[in-house]
Each structure stands twice: as C-alpha cells, then as structure tokens.
Structure 1
Amino acid sequence: MKLAIGEISYTNILPLYYFLKREELEEKGCSFVPQIPAQLNKSMKEGSVHVGGISSFAYGQNPELYDLLPDLSVSAKGNVGSIFLFSKKPITELSHSDIALTNSSATSVHLLKVILKEFYKHENITYNLMEPNGAEMLRDHDACLLIGDDAIFKSWEKSSGLYVYDIGGLWYENTGLPMTFAVIAVRKDIARKENQLLEELYKDLQRSKQLSIQTNFQTMIQEIIHKHGGRKEFWDHYFSGLVYDFTEKEKEGLLYYYHLVYKHRFIEQPVKQLSMWKKGLESQTII
C-alpha cells in the first residue's frame, strides 16, 4: 500500500508543500492527489487518501480515525486574510438573515456559525451551501462566506458597498486564542502500516515549512503572483499573518473550537484531546 497524499491547491497551505522533494517521494511510493478541502475531507474518511491537510472540523467529526502530525498546521493569531464574510449589513444586524456558505469548507462554515451564535447571540439565521461564487451567493442572500483563493479574489474587488469581516480576526477578538483551520492528519491504520515512509514525508513537510519561512516566502510569492496576480506587498502581508506551527497555544485554541461546535450541536461527540502521531508505531494523546 504506500501513501496517497492529499494536496489542496489553496495558497494558504502551499508553504508546507512547496519545497517537497516530490520525485524522491514518488519513487518511494507516494502519490499526490489534488483536491479542494471538502473533497479531501471525504477522501480521507473513506480511505482513498491517507494523509493530508484536512479541515480541523473534519478531524473533530472523526478523531478516532486520525493522528495529527506534530508542529504542522494552517493557523492564524488574528486576521487570516483568506476567510471572509461579505455582508450587505453590519454583522450586529444579521439575526433573521439568509447567509450563503461556500461548499468547499467545513471548519470555516462552522466557525462562522459559532461566532454568530456564541458571540453575537444571533438567532433564526438561514444558511445555504453553494458553489463559491460571490456574485451568485449574494444575489438572493444577505451575506456570504468565502474561503481560500475565492475569498482573496473577492476581497480585491473595487468598492462594492459590502461589509467585510475576517473570520479569523473575529475569533481572536472574542477568545484571545489562535484558530487552526487545517491540521495535517494521517489515518491511524495507514500510519501503522507505512510508518517509515510517513517519517520521510513528515521530515520533508517540516523541511518545506522551514525553507518557506527562511526565504520569507519570496520564491513562492513570485510564482503565486505569476499565476494569480496581486501585489507583492499583499502576499508579504498575507503570509506574515499565517502560522504553520502547532504549538500548545494552537492546540488550546483548537480544543476550544471543538468545545463550542459540540456545545452548539455541530458535532455529535465532544473532542477533549488530540491524538498526535510520533515516530514508531504508537500515537500519543495530548489533553
């Protein structure tokens, strides 16, 4: 069996993959499977993909299936710059509103629901999942949630009269904790069977992260500008706001997120601990 590696095309996770030694990993039996977050969540659960950056919410739904790779995540302590609520009215006035949600996310969708219910005490909001097209989403809705590159490109549009809220910033303002949007997870059954190859992948993911940080993301940013456009100053600021570690503080914020999504009945069972992969055959539990 070898390792099928899920790869999300969003720029926010790119530093973990950009400097991977792909050819060497493929020669050893790894394969890369490009997917959007919602697809990857499904593929990981079904077992057709073995390891990848899944939505934090997906881990919370099935924590018994996965171990988390240490010191790797997509997190933010404050504004994340690529998860936005675009609203026709102030966020304080969204009770009894209709909100369109991107169907490419899970973590951010439920994070928005938690923020509006827990911190703003809004009631009677109708949510509808849609393809991530801002114009279409706002045609018949009071607000829409976009993530990733879809959110970035929408935020670049000239003045549209919309209120724009960074969901990561709203979380931090109300909790004082970082928010982890994606975790690097491996299926427990695969970790036991392919632990040596997983160790090599893990070292290379860490290497890619460190090289990205050491080069201040510059090589990667030039490629992103060529592919997507945008000013260098924008991308410099964007990556400076993201955190790719998974320290005790990120774990604390993630466990509080799980506490709230369970409190509001978005997951069936509470998640009070995280199962972390380590070298060898045994995982370790972090409380």
Structure 2
Amino acid sequence: MSLIIGEISYTNILPMFYYINREKLIKSGCKFVPAIPSKLNKDMASGQVHVGGISSFSYGEHSSEYKILSDLSVSSTNQVGSIFLFSKYPIEKLEAAKIALTSSSATSVNLLKIILQRFYELGVSFETTFPNYEHMMDHYDACLLIGDDAILASKGKSADIYQYDLGELWARFTNLPMTYAVFAFRNETLEKEKQLLTEVHRQFLNSKARCIDNDFQEMIKSIQYQLGGTNRFWSRYFAGLNYQLTERHLEGLYHYYDLANELKLLDEPVREISIWKPTGQFHSV
C-alpha cells in the first residue's frame, strides 16, 4: 500500500504543502491528488484517498472510520476571508429567500445552514449549484462561495451586494474558533503505512512552521504570480487564518457537530474526535 494524499486546491491550505519535499515523498510511495473539498471528501470515503485535508463536516460523517493528524487544521478565530455569503438583501431580511450553495464545499454549506436556521431563525430554501458568482446572483437572492472563488467574487462584486464572512458570524454567535478542514486519514492506513504516514505528518508540520516563521512571504509571492493581488491583501488574509488544532478548536468543532446533528445535517452525533499525535499515540477528546 502506498499513500494517496488529498490536497485541497485552495490557497488557504497551501501552508501545509508549500515546503514539503514532494520528490522524496513520491519516491517513498506517495501520490498527490489535488481537488476541491467535496471531491476529496468522496474519495476519502471510498478509499481512493488515504490521508489529507478534508472538510471538517466530512470527518463528522466518518468519525468512526477516520483519525485526525494532530496540530493541523484550516481554521479561523474570527474572519476567515474566503468563505462569503453574498446577498441582495441584509442577512436578517432573508426570510423565504432562495440561496445558491457552492457544490465545492461541505463544512461551509452546513455552517451557513446553522447560521441562518439556528442563529438568525430564518426559513430559507437552498439549492446546490456550480460555483459561478454571476449565474448564482442572476438566479438567486444570495449565494455561498468558498476559497479562491469567494476571494475573486469579493473583488468583483458591485457595491450594492451585501457580503458576510461566515467565520466572523460564527465567532459572533459562539465566541469559538471555526475549523473548516482537518487533516485526516483512514483507520487502516496506520496499520499498513505507519512509517510513511509519520513522515507525511512531519513534513506537513514543518511546512506550516516555515510558512509561519517567514510570515508566509515566500508563499505569497507564488500566489501573486498565479492569482494576482497585493502583498498587503494576502498578508492580511493569512494573518486571519489559523492552522492549529488546540482544545479550543476542538470545542468549536464539537459545538458545530452538535448543532449540525440538531438540525439533522448529520445523521449521528460525533461523540469522539480521535487525534493521532506525532508519537503515534491516539487520544480522543
């Protein structure tokens, strides 16, 4: 068994991948599969991907089948900067609205449902569609976009469109961090490829640490080459993200899972989040 590594194709997860030694890992038997979160979620569930970044919601759906690599996540303690609800009306006036949901997401889609249905107590209808801002806003009252799609839409939207950051809304109502993606692996992976899994985990942690140490500056230069944007914009964006997985992050995740279960977005409650530490020891919290 080799390791197939899922790599979410958004800039917000890039710090964990930017400095990894891909050549070494590929020679050791790893294969990297970049895709949007919803595709990686499906591939992990079917066993086509063994380890990598997946939506936190997908972990909640498969918590008995997966473990989480310690000290890694894509989170925010307030604004996330790349998960936006765009609306023709103020959010509190969206009663009976038709809202388009990106087909790229799981965590953010269900986070929006929690925010609107539980926090604002609104009755709205949702429809999942391809993430195209112009099409969504032509046919719906509001739309949800994530990742680079959301960043580009935010830059190009007209002034009369309201924009809401879901990380900021979550923090306002819960005073907890929101974790959008975790680094998970299928349970059988540990038994079959423990040594390689340990090395992959070590490289993720090292890459994250190097990005943080240089304030993401080397990585930002490569992002600017692909997506444009000023250094100030990207520096502020990454400063608003958080890549830890502390007890406080897990408290936020449990609260998210509890609310998702109450709204019947999750079929079963998540009773344990199992973390695999670099020492190879498991603990559940």
TM-score computed with the length of structure 2 as normaliser: 0.98
The one-letter amino acid paired with 1:154 is A
Alignment match, 2:16:
16
2:52 is aligned to 52
Task: Please list the CA deviations of residues 150-207 of structure 1 after superposition, one character each: whole Å capped at 9, or x if unmatched.
Answer: 0000001153410000000000000000000000001001122111110001000000
1:254 is aligned to 253
Contact 1:192-1:281 at 8 Å conserved across structures: no
Whole-angstrom distance in 2 between the partners of 1:71 and 1:222: 26
Kindly tell me: are residues 2 and 241 of structure 1, through their superposed partners in 2, closer, same or farther at Cα, counting changes over 3 Å? same
SS in 2 for 1:26: helix
Q: How does 1:269-284 map to 2 (within 5 A)?
A: 269-279=268-278, 283-284=282-283
Q: 1:43 to 1:155 in 2, by over 3 A?
A: same
RMSD, matched Cα: 1.0
Q: CA–CA distance in 2 between the matches of 1:71 and 1:278?
A: 8
3-state SS of paired residue (2:180): strand
- 1:126, distance to aligned residue in structure 2 (A): 1.0
Greater shift in the superposed pair: 169-178 or 153-162:
153-162
Q: Is the 8 A contact 1:37 1:105 kept in 2?
A: yes
| Structure 1 Cα separation of the partners of residues 213 and 277 of structure 2 | 25
- Give how far 1:138 is off: 1.0
Partner Cα separation in structure 2 for residue 82 and residue 210 of structure 1: 22
Report the Cα offset of residue 60 of structure 1.
0.6
Aligned to 2:118: 118
Match status 1:189 vs 2:184? no
Residue 201 of structure 1 aligns with which residue?
A: 200
Q: After the TM superposition, which residues 103-182 of structure 1 pair with which residues of structure 2 at under 5 Å, given as runs?
A: 103-123=103-123, 125-157=124-156, 159-182=158-181
DSSP 3-state at the match of 2:235: helix
How far 1:282 sits from its partner (Å)?
Answer: 5.6
Q: Which structure 2 residues correspond to residues 72-83 of structure 1 after superposition, within 5 A?
A: 72-83=72-83
Q: 2:127 and 2:274 mapped to 1: Cα distance? A: 33
**Residues 1:73 and 1:29: Cα distance change in structure 2 (over 3 Å):** same
Structure 1 CA distance for aligned equivalents of residues 190 and 89 of structure 2: 47
Q: Deviations over 1:98-120 (max 9, x none)?
A: 00000000000000000011110
Q: Do the aligned partners of 1:99 and 1:142 also contact (CA within 8 Å) in 2? A: yes
1:284 is displaced (CA, Å) by 2.2
Tell me the distance in 2 between the aligned counterparts of 1:76 and 1:203.
Answer: 23
Q: Contact conserved, 1:195 with 1:279, CA < 8 A, in 2?
A: no
Counterpart residue identity of residue 273, structure 2: L
Measure the CA separation in 2 of the matches of 1:65 and 1:5: 17
CA distance in 1, matches of 2:239, 2:255: 24
Query: Within 2, Cα distance between the matches of 1:280 and 1:202?
Result: 11
Q: CA-to-partner distance for each residue in 1:180-239, whole Å, 9 max, x for gaps?
A: 000000100112211111000100000000000001000000110110011111000000
What's the CA shift string for 1:34-76, capped at 9, x where partnerless?
Answer: 1110000000000011001100000011111100000000000
1:279: Cα distance to partner? Answer: 4.9
Distance 1:156 1:142 in 2: 19
* Offset at residue 140 of structure 1 (A): 1.3
Q: Mark the runs of 5 or more structure 1 residues left unpaired by the alignment.
A: none
Whole-Å separation in 2 of the counterparts to 1:165 and 1:138: 15
SS in 1 for 2:19: coil
The size of the alignment, in residue pairs, is 285
The aligned counterpart of 2:214 is 215
Query: Structure 2: where are the runs of 5+ without partners?
Result: none
Distance in 2, Cα, partners of 1:239 & 1:136: 29
